[in-house]
Structure 1
């Protein structure tokens, strides 16, 4: 099978002779490893240059659609806007459709109303109507990338974010290590059970904590909004006096801390997600123990890249779940 570049092109790019390049491409013996590496680097450089030519002068409009608390959407919006220039020489713009709470119908209405879009980065409920809306966008030639929480039965072109089940396992591991033999039940807080990512975190956490003898008390449907979450957590703490540890899946951590304070109760271990402004402050103050975090700018870059790949503007590259960072007060990034 002929190579996508002529031997002469690769030779010019690498500074090697055409005969040497030909030997490398046909995997003939007698070629040093560093020579093979030079040829591979030359091909990678040619791929980048070809991509830049495809991008030159092109304009793309990407829609970011998210139902999530403002503290998270604000952080992700900043990440998207910081990464837009990385796709030069193309001009990539973003439109943002962000809200904190609402029924699935609201999400579907927003997705149906998108016009002139070249792709969608989406954080949405895993619900049949949402699947149908995603499939409709894809059929219309608009690729969709799910973010933070997946909708796997849809025709979305990819998922960006952490391995949520693995995050739940990690949280349970830390919880068991830090609590040790201290008797404590554990509160787990979710924003909405319809978000698949949160459900996967919960399943991982429960699985890894099984056999510990600790009761898990669940609070959900707060949408991660502080006022709602504080009321629900306060009720759960009053009904469950043995709870002195928290795994926060869905946010609202300022409210959870406030609920413990109102009852004069100590929280032995508090594990949360996402390094937003609230969690940074709570880490510095020693009110939460650790945050499971991933690089939002890397997520934003990958989400937009997957859309441009789907549109044929960039070469395909393999993807993998974002690595989970365990952030404590002592390794808090600036």
Structure 2
């Protein structure tokens, strides 16, 4: 393996002991394949971030922790890695802890590991459950600020929330869906990855209330706990479409959009309007193919930049955070896709 980085640098990035990293680098026996893979990944992360090495300034080691489908965590990771060099003269190093599905107790254990190892800050997307909030409180007590992204933990001692106004996003979705389905009496399939995420719950509430107020003829059929995974989501959507023949559109809050479209196709039903969230590569392709109608998007690069600045502020390196307000909701259609996306 490459000897570009010091053992202690690789160990800090990988969250392993220096002795373990030394065994991996020298190809000694008795090391698990998963540990070797983590060291390899840590070196790759350091290489991506090495363009900052020439900068002189205060150094911050941060942790990105997310429970989310890989298509979204990949987009967030790309945005964060792109923004780190722009924060000069400060030098940021990021460690990544990404899962599609993780039990709350395992997530808490990961946060406890970060607290024990030390960090300048945590950028967190996690369910709003008491045990996670308590772990965030312990991080704050230890002097490690937590910035929540996309979905908030308002009852925890997090330093800041970064992302869109989720209720306003749901209301925007209701405006689009209601306008496109009007004047039909129909129902809308609303899919959430899980009710444990406050951000998704706020989107659903905004959507439901705006639809009731402005389009009372339209009803809602809600499904959840598919975790944005295709196999689980297609089963939930298939069941809903079988049980309700009036479903004519979809508002996908939690992802799994290919699965929802597959369920409509299996049922021989046309999805008149489909509004989704987040302009990742999959949704960009679906927009180009005109299989979904619109995507509610926010600038992940701006969010990552703002999150890092909040961490700097928490440590006294910034007096205030420029652009700290919630990100504006952007409505992306097949006709205004950003160039080069996906």
TM-score by length of 1: 0.82
**2:274 match: secondary structure:** strand
The worse-fitting range, judged by mean Cα deviation, of 211-220 and 167-176 is: 211-220
Measured in 1, the distance between the counterparts of 2:198 and 2:57 equals: 38
The offset of 1:245, in angstroms, is 0.4
- Of 99, 120, 123, which aligns to 1:121? 123
Measured in 2, the distance between the counterparts of 1:82 and 1:103 equals: 30
CA contact (8 A) 2:252 2:276 kept: yes
Query: Which consecutive segments of 4 or more residues in structure 1 shift more than 3 A?
Result: none
Measured in 1, the distance between the counterparts of 2:281 and 2:184 equals: 30
Aligned to 1:98: 98
Measured in 2, the distance between the counterparts of 1:297 and 1:291 equals: 17
RMSD of equivalent CA atoms = 1.1
Measured in 2, the distance between the counterparts of 1:234 and 1:131 equals: 35
Measured in 2, the distance between the counterparts of 1:216 and 1:188 equals: 7
Measured in 2, the distance between the counterparts of 1:173 and 1:140 equals: 44
Measured in 2, the distance between the counterparts of 1:188 and 1:307 equals: 35
Aligned to 1:194: 196
CA contact (8 A) 2:186 2:217 kept: no
Aligned to 1:323: 328
The offset of 1:317, in angstroms, is 2.8
**1:113 match: secondary structure:** helix
Aligned to 1:217: 221
**1:208 match: secondary structure:** helix
The offset of 1:56, in angstroms, is 4.2
CA contact (8 A) 2:309 2:321 kept: no
Q: Tell me, which stretches of 5 or more residues in structure 2 are unaligned?
A: 1-54
The offset of 1:215, in angstroms, is 2.0
Measured in 1, the distance between the counterparts of 2:272 and 2:198 equals: 28
Q: Tell me, which stretches of 5 or more residues in structure 1 are unaligned?
A: 1-54
1:93-145 alpha-carbon deviations (Å, 9 max, x no partner): 10010000122112211111112211000001111111110000010000000
The offset of 1:176, in angstroms, is 1.1
Measured in 2, the distance between the counterparts of 1:174 and 1:215 equals: 15
TM-score by length of 2: 0.80
Aligned length: 280
**1:210 match: secondary structure:** helix
